[in-house]
């Protein structure tokens, strides 16, 4: 059976950049759909059913941050790659907290963009030879990786695609130290180490769903100078 062409929803209002990105992505075999403001994105998402969204932060009508939040609130889990013209780390962190999977700062090279897209499209179904985890209980916490939820004393929370992948990898290496570089390589599919807070931000957000007291984590623990570990007891 032939593979379906991957669909990318490009949300950008700069004509020259739209032309360049659309031409580049279509030449790589992607099907590209363009939205030029922040007001019509949700209609396009329902119509296009994209495999990935490239989302500019600065948009007419509605910001990329708001659009990102709308997409995640609607339970869409496809990867979102945010574009920012600013080097300000606050913007990048804010985008990740709203549900973006990755970001890239303008100006950027075509090779870097294509690598980021490829990394975000690749998904692993399991990280163990025994098969995928489904439902795991840790103390008062129940993690359902099929339904993408976490239930704990504070309530039940939805997990994003990336959070499910992150938990799968951590569960496969439970009670072991896992470095940021390993997480970037195995969960985000980055081929090389990079100076990014992506992992830290996602771990922080995951703690708000996983930990009854996120400010004093008991299960998803930071190992200073090493990385993280997921404790099962």
> What's the mean pLDDT when you consider all of the chain?
85
| pLDDT recorded at residue 126 | 33
Question: Tokens 């020259």 map to which residue?
Answer: 16
pTM of this prediction?
Answer: 0.62
* φ, ψ at 128 (rounded to 5°): -135, 155
- Residue 213, both tokens: 């007291």
How many C-beta atoms lie closer than 10 Å to residue 191's C-beta?
10
pLDDT class for 56, splitting at 50, 70, 90? very high
Residue ranges and CATH numbers for the domains of the chain are: 7-121 (3.40.50.2300), 135-230 (1.10.10.10)
| pLDDT recorded at residue 156 | 94
pLDDT tens profile 147-190:
889 999 999 999 887 888 899 889 888 899 999 988 888 887 77
* Distance separating alpha carbons of residues 44 and 120, to the nearest angstrom: 20
Greater pLDDT, 3 or 38: 38
Beta bridge partners of 82: 55, 103
Which of 30-34, 99-103, 153-157, 211-215 is predicted with the least confidence, judged by mean pLDDT? Answer: 99-103
Greater pLDDT, 191 or 177: 177
pLDDT tens profile 109-151:
889 899 889 888 875 333 333 344 588 899 899 999 888 899 9
Q: In what order do the strands lie in the sheet with 227-230?
A: 178-179, 227-230, 220-223
For residue 136, the 8-state DSSP code is E
């Amino acid at each position: 059976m032939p593979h379906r062409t991957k669909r990318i929803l490009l949300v950008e209002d700069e004509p020259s950049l739209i032309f360049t990105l659309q031409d580049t992505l279509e030449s790589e075999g992607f099907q590209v759909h363009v939205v030029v403001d922040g007001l019509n994105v949700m209609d396009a998402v329902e119509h296009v059913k994209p495999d990935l969204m490239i989302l500019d932060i600065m948009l007419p009508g509605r910001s990329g941050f708001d659009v990102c939040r709308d997409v995640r609130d609607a339970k869409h889990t496809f990867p979102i790659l945010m574009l920012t013209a600013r080097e300000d780390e606050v913007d990048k962190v804010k985008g990740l907290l709203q549900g973006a999977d990755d970001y890239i700062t303008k100006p950027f090279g075509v090779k870097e963009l294509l690598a980021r897209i490829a990394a975000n499209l690749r998904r692993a179904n399991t990280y163990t030879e025994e098969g995928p985890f489904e439902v795991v209980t840790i103390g008062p916490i129940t993690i359902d990786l099929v339904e993408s939820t976490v239930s704990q004393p504070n309530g039940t929370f939805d997990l994003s695609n990336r959070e499910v992948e992150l938990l799968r990898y951590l569960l496969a290496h439970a009670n072991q130290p896992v470095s940021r570089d390993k997480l970037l390589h195995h969960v985000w599919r980055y081929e090389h180490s990079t100076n990014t807070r992506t992992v830290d931000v996602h771990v922080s957000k995951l703690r708000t769903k996983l930990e009854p007291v996120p400010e004093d984590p008991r299960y998803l623990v930071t190992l200073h100078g090493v990385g993280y570990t997921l404790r099962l007891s």
